[in-house]
Amino acid sequence: MARWRRILGGAAAALTVAAMGTLMQSSPAAAAPDGPDMVVGGTTATQGEFPFMVRLSMGCGGALYSPTLVLTAAHCVNGTGTNTSITATVGVVDLNSTSKVTRRSNYVYRAPGYNGNGKDWALIRLSSPVTGLATLPIARTTAYDSGTFTIAGWGAATEGGGQQRYLRKATVPFVSDATCNSSSMYAGQIIASNEICAGYAAGGVDTCQGDSGGPMFRRDAANAWIQVGIVSWGDGCARPNKPGVYTQVSYFAATIASAASSLGG
């Protein structure tokens, strides 16, 4: 089963170069046997639509939690500690735009006790604040953990395809824990307490490789964006009966906030 939705190995190295200005749009490719990609079945976002979106040089996404912190997935980083190797690109839909803003990391905090099974969140501290861009608040209760969600990212638009130059977006419906853990879907692999499933039984719309760590979000009671999930894993990309699986942000909200405070964010 294809678990994580990050780019690995040589592809990640290529993406690091691409983020510096040579990223190409994806072209169709044969389906990889183990391969999530990006927002499949989506459309191109407009400039400024999701100002909190972050592209990370290791082949993942993220969201601005604060001007100095990016919330992403634990499986996108190697551990907690000083880290100056990550470049965050923000402020643009087009990764080749001359208007893009970049920041280097200086520290990574990975979820305590992370072992590859749940607890899939991490914070990346930036070397200097990002100003003039909206951040994305996290859900602190389960009030918004159902309904219809928005997903966005720069990963591939087809399973096994290349990464995207332009940010893409789509909407996906909530899938209950009971349904997602049924024999026709993930057969008990979902950690019901702290993972959320979202997608269509028929497939066709999903996050995928290159989207790991990016946010799943929706409107709150005040019609403002609020983050409810972090792109984590899935079986393939937009396959029938294989919805995307996301870290349930509300379950970890207090721990995330505490960690952010300790990092000065």
Residue numbers annotated as active site: 75, 120, 212
Q: Which two tokens stand for residue 160?
A: 């096994």
| Alpha carbons 121 and 247: distance in angstroms, whole number | 7
Q: How many CB atoms lie under 10 A from the CB of residue 201?
A: 14
Task: Measure the CA–CA gap between 218 and 24, rounded to whole angstroms.
Answer: 29
CA dist., res. 91 & res. 147, Å (int): 28
Output phi, psi for 179, to 5 deg.
Answer: -70, -45
Cβ 227 vs Cβ 30: under 8 Å: no
What is the CB-side half-sphere exposure of residue 38 using CA atoms within 13 A? 28
